[in-house]
């Protein structure tokens, strides 16, 4: 007895298997798209650390040596 198109894969619980396969593929593409967007480099320079900003301010002459040392010691506590 042959069922042709409506064989056991389509008639009984086989549809559930195909539904699960399609959902797995769909969710895999969604996960790949999310992680690709979240982890790609946008070509921006890396964020400056607080010490880098402090060093630049001291180099430009915006702050004096006493202020520089005080701020640097404050950052070391954190």
Contact 76, 54 (CB under 8 A): no
Average pLDDT of the chain is 80
Task: Answer for the pair 22, 15: CB distance below 8 angstroms, yes or no.
Answer: no
Q: Is the pLDDT of residue 65 over 80?
A: yes
Q: Which phi and psi angles does 43 have, rounded to 5°?
A: 80, 5
Confidence tier at 37 by pLDDT (50, 70, 90): confident
Higher pLDDT, 29 or 36: 29
Report the greatest alpha carbon distance in the chain. Answer: 94
C-beta atoms surrounding 9 within 10 Å: 13
Given a contact cutoff of 8 angstroms between Cβ atoms, the answer to whether 75 and 54 are in contact is yes
With cut-offs at 50, 70 and 90, classify the pLDDT of residue 18: confident
Q: What is the pTM of this model?
A: 0.42
């Amino acid at each position: 007895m042959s069922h042709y198109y409506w064989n056991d894969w389509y008639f009984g619980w086989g549809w559930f298997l195909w539904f699960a396969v399609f959902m797995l593929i769909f969710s895999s593409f969604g996960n790949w798209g999310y992680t690709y967007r979240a982890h790609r480099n946008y070509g921006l320079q890396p964020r400056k650390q607080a010490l880098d900003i402090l060093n630049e301010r001291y180099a430009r002459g915006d702050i004096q040596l006493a202020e520089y040392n005080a701020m640097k010691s404050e950052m070391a506590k954190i």
